[in-house]
Amino acid sequence: MKSISVVGMQWGDEGKGKVIDLLSVKAQHIARPQGGNNAGHTIVVQGTEYRFHLIPSGILYPNTKCYIGGGTVIDPTSLLSEMEALRQHKISFEKRLFISPYAHIVFPYHRQLDKLAEQAKGPSAVGTTGRGIGPCYADKAARNGIRVAELVDPELLKKRLDEVLPIKSKELHETLSEAEILREYVALGQKLKPFVAPVEEMLYIARKNHEMILFEGAQGALLDVTFGTYPYVTSSCTLSGGAASGMGVGPTAIDEVLGVAKAYTTRVGNGPFPTELSLDELSRFPDHSASREVGTTTGRKRRIGWLDLVLLKHTACLNGVTKIAVTKLDILDGLDEILVCTKYKGLDRFPATGLERVKPEYKTLSGWKTSTKQARSWKDLPKAAQQYMHCIEQALGIPVALISVGPERESSFWREA
């Protein structure tokens, strides 16, 4: 069976978790390659809402095995809270959830450094979640990180803390208590130890056995640390290529790349946003609660804008997208007309810098002014909604394979259906 990498084509929050949930029906393995609990996926199944930050959303299916890769950074307390939420919902994950020993660990000093850095930047702050993700990745690159492999071995953990804490104490201008951190994290490590496994070898064997693997990307392409809207980015590789490096598999392990895009554009935090709605335009959209545009992780209202085809062409290129999933089409149901950005004035491509200065040029399409929430196939969509999908396909030269018209699992359908 083909293995698929599911990636976000915008600034995150595109609905990747829901797409993974749908694909998990046929998959045996779901792998989360990067990021930490700064990302969030929300799934609604039979009226029950499930929120995930590190655990792949495919865990809801009993036939799957789920993996947290070496490219992630793990806050043990947050991960254990997710596990407890699953237990409360009576979802078994023992012998189905596996953690790579190569993943790095978020410590309290990472969260402190994250908040201090944002405060110091003032108006130019990135707008991070404050969860310590960036400082943890920075320590990884600086070789001051502590991994799962050390977390689950108290002797090794103490040795690494002996080396790292003097550095962190100097950075924070305070003396960090090694005894306190060691006591807390030894206990956390022992709780996670039963889930630590040779993830890389397990996925290699799965691939050799022709079993389907889903690579569950976090955040979106324009938050990529290299190719995103730098410096307003996350601290990991959010592209399809990051699935291979973050899971420790070769690029030949990925057969298809399914890019997920909202029917419009959103962004959380600071940074340039060419198609962001004016206050007058925003008043025509459903409010943030009705449109489900409040962050799963942060609780912050998302910034909203028109669909940006220049942006999507760029991220399709970066990811090698082979098919597209369009989500939240229903949010556009009430609009008389819909604007789509087709180019940036004076530019022939998406710029590496200066995005805040670009002037979007729009094409105006007719709205459909009728509910799509009950649509369960292509033929159920209003003609104007079908034309909207064709507009995306023609601009990108990539087929729209999946369409979502609501938060529930049954509110999505494949184009062929």
* Other residues' Cβ atoms within 10 Å of the Cβ of residue 415: 17
Q: CA 387, CA 398: separation in Å to the nearest integer?
A: 15
Residue of 13, 4, 8, 69 whose CA lies nearest to 38: 13
Question: One of 13, 21, 75, 224 is an active-site residue; which one?
Answer: 13
Residue entry with tokens 């709780």: 191
The β-bridge partners of 307 are 340
Residue entry with tokens 């944002």: 118
Task: Please say if 280 is a catalytic residue.
Answer: no
Q: Biggest alpha carbon distance in the chain?
A: 66
Contact (Cβ atoms closer than 8 angstroms) between residue 248 and residue 233: no
Contact (Cβ atoms closer than 8 angstroms) between residue 115 and residue 162: no
How does DSSP assign 319-382, residue by residue? Answer: HT--EEEEE-GGGGTT-SEEEEEEEETT-SS--SS-GGG--EEEEEEE---S--TT--SGGGS-
Question: One of 21, 29, 41, 53 is an active-site residue; which one?
Answer: 41
Task: Please say if 41 is a catalytic residue.
Answer: yes
* Other residues' Cβ atoms within 10 Å of the Cβ of residue 147: 20
Length of the chain equals 417
Backbone angles phi, psi at 257, to 5 degrees: -125, 115
Residue of 60, 15, 400, 32 whose CA lies nearest to 214: 32
Burial status of residue 380 (CB atoms within 10 A of its CB: 0-12, 13-18, 19 or more): middle
Helix (H) or strand (E) holding 260: strand 256-262
The β-bridge partners of 265 are 305
- The amino acid occupying position 4 is I
Helix (H) or strand (E) holding 42: strand 41-45
Helix (H) or strand (E) holding 108: helix 108-121
| C-alpha torsion angle, residues 301, 305, 310, 313 (rounded to 10) | 50
Backbone angles phi, psi at 392, to 5 degrees: -65, -45
Q: CA 83, CA 100: separation in Å to the nearest integer?
A: 16
Cis peptide, bond prior to residue 286, ω within 30 of zero: no
The β-bridge partners of 97 are 66
Q: Which amino acids are annotated catalytic?
A: 13, 41
